[in-house]
Amino acid sequence: MLNFEFKNPTKILFGKGQISNLANEIPEGSKVLMLYGGGSIKQNGIYDQVTAALKGYEVVEFGGIPANPEYEILLKALEVIKAQKIDFMLAVGGGSVIDGTKFLAAAALYEGNEPWDILAMRIRTEKGFPFGTVLTLPATGSEMNSGSVITRDATKEKLSMGGPGLFPRFSVLDPEVIRSIPARQLQNGVVDAFNHVLEQYITYPAGAILQDRMAESILQTLIEVGPKVMKNPNDYEAASNFMWACTMALNGLIQKGVPTDWSVHAIGHELTALYGIDHARTLAIIGPNLYKYKFENKKEKLAQFGERVWGIQEGSIEEKASLAIEKTLVFYHDLGVQTKLSDYTSEYQDTAQFIENRFKERNWVGLGERQDIQPGDVFKIVEMSY
Ligand code: NZQ
Ligand code: ZN
């Protein structure tokens, strides 16, 4: 096991009815900026629950944060924070609203001139503006981690940021929010969380027995409850397990003491930036091909994944590893998620070259758990994904 430090300060309020308790977590007398997305919360009752819980606070609203939170829109929210002298932010939404709020938490205290530099120059946020979240869509884990991914449409970029100042002070996880989530977003949630575990697990053996078993148990839980939630979003037991599995997949715990990959995400973000493909679907496109391309590096963990998660008992390490990739593809297809770039766009022909060039320009050399994925490898992986 590798050395590590671990601190996760986010308080979780989990379960039915917990939205009503959120005021206990916000300092008395605060002027609160409530941030949300395209308006789903106004149809499903979450808006009413949150505003009722915020009674007694002065509340300013900022709605309209789109999926793949857009920089230019967030700059407008930044003006509101400053002009209205906001003390606390409350994100009510999925990963996009929460990530947008994290960007604001960094930008509100940033002393440079151009907040985009936080992303372009990878400036870590040590101290952030305080915020909490009400999660409406289990998927990203953003509700209990300190990462954020922001889109800039003008330049077709989608870049990550983070730092210890960006953990939410608290997050409310009420599994009943799942009842109104459309099938497409439920599919995305299962596939995103599944890939978060894979990025921290399909690497090489590091003698971290407990972390491996925690990762495998999250994968098994997603395989078990994902289809149940898809079939019946009112199934509270399935919904609660789905929600907690998504949070546990990316709250930092399973990555401690082990090598991590994250190259599937780095490449996938380019596909969202270029074509607007939902984040999770980009992972379903890239992941299996990256595992085929880096097969020699990853075959031991792939075989372990095959044995323990997919129940493959027969065959050599190579056979188990290959079958594990195939079973993963079948899982995505059964959920209704397509796995080729050409399933999503007909304009894919120059994608591999474009991404290779971009990674070269950014000097993104040496991705993956062994830092051995070069831009030329990225070209080949993307080309395999057509
Ligand atoms: O905009 P609204 O009206 O809220 O509708 C949203 C949106 O259209 C809808 N939705 C959310 N909760 C709902 C609901 N509809 C009905 N009922 C509900 N209860 O779902 C749509 C998608 O929402 P979004 O927040 O975009 O989805 P998700 O949570 O999958 O977030 C994706 C974003 O997170 C980033 C992705 O790159 C992407 O930008 N990620 C963030 C990570 C992190 N911070 O740790 C890690 C991930 O790997 C990922 O990169
Ligand atoms: Zn993801």
Task: Determine the residue of 36, 99, 278 to mutate for testing ligand 1's pocket, defined as the one with the most ligand atoms within 8 A of the Cβ atom.
Answer: 99
Picking from 123, 121, 305, the residue whose alpha carbon sits closest to that of residue 199 is 305
| Site residues for ligand 1, CB cut-off 6 Å | 37-40, 44, 67-68, 93-97, 99, 136-137, 139-142, 145, 147-149, 177, 180-182, 185, 188, 192, 250, 265, 279
Q: Over the stretch 4-46, which tens digit does the pLDDT of each residue have?
A: 999 999 999 999 999 999 999 999 999 999 999 999 999 999 9
Q: Write down the pLDDT at residue 198.
A: 98
By CB atoms closer than 10 A (0-12, 13-18, 19+), residue 160 is middle
Strands 131-135 and 31-36: unpaired
Q: Walk along the chain (386 residues) and give the pLDDT tens digit of each residue.
A: 999 999 999 999 999 999 999 999 999 999 999 999 999 999 999 999 999 999 999 999 999 999 999 999 999 999 999 999 999 999 999 999 999 999 999 999 999 999 999 999 999 999 999 999 999 999 999 999 999 999 999 999 999 999 999 999 999 999 999 999 999 999 999 999 999 999 999 999 999 999 999 999 999 999 999 999 999 999 999 999 999 999 999 999 999 999 999 999 999 999 999 999 999 999 999 999 999 999 999 999 999 999 999 999 999 999 999 999 999 999 999 999 999 999 999 999 999 999 999 999 999 999 999 999 999 999 999 999 99
Picking from 87, 109, 289, 112, the residue whose alpha carbon sits closest to that of residue 195 is 289
Task: Determine the residue of 149, 151, 198, 274 to mutate for testing ligand 1's pocket, defined as the one with the most ligand atoms within 8 A of the Cβ atom.
Answer: 149
Task: Determine the residue of 10, 140, 243 to mutate for testing ligand 1's pocket, defined as the one with the most ligand atoms within 8 A of the Cβ atom.
Answer: 140
Neighbours of 175 (CB within 10 A): 24
By CB atoms closer than 10 A (0-12, 13-18, 19+), residue 292 is middle
Residue 117 contacts residue 159 (beta carbons within 8 Å): no
Atom of ligand 1 nearest to the CA of 65: 1
What ipTM does this complex have? 0.99
Q: Write down the pLDDT at residue 317.
A: 98
Picking from 367, 343, 336, the residue whose alpha carbon sits closest to that of residue 275 is 343
Structure tokens of 64? 């309209």
- DSSP state letter for 110: -
Termini Cα distance of the chain: 37
Neighbours of 77 (CB within 10 A): 23
* CA 279 to centroid of ligand 2, rounded, Å: 7
Picking from 72, 82, 67, the residue whose alpha carbon sits closest to that of residue 116 is 72
Q: Which residues contact 316 (CB under 8 A, 6 or more apart)?
A: none
Picking from 119, 115, 139, 142, the residue whose alpha carbon sits closest to that of residue 131 is 142
Indicate which residue's Cα is closest to atom 46 of ligand 1.
140
E strand or H helix at 134: strand 131-135
Atom of ligand 1 nearest to the CA of 97: 25
Which structural domains are found in the chain, ordered by start? 11-176 (3.40.50.1970), 183-384 (1.20.1090.10)
* CA 70 to centroid of ligand 1, rounded, Å: 13
Cα–Cα dist 211/256, whole Å: 8
Neighbours of 293 (CB within 10 A): 19
| Ion ligand 2, residue ranges at CB < 5 A | 192
Using CA atoms, how far residue 382 sits from 99, 280, 284, 348, 378, in Å, is 26, 16, 12, 10, 6
What SS3 state is found at 155?
A: helix
Structure tokens of 270? 């380019």
Cα–Cα dist 204/385, whole Å: 23
Using CA atoms, how far residue 111 sits from 11, 71, 107, 287, 340, in Å, is 28, 17, 8, 38, 43
For residue 142, give the ligand nearest its CA: 1
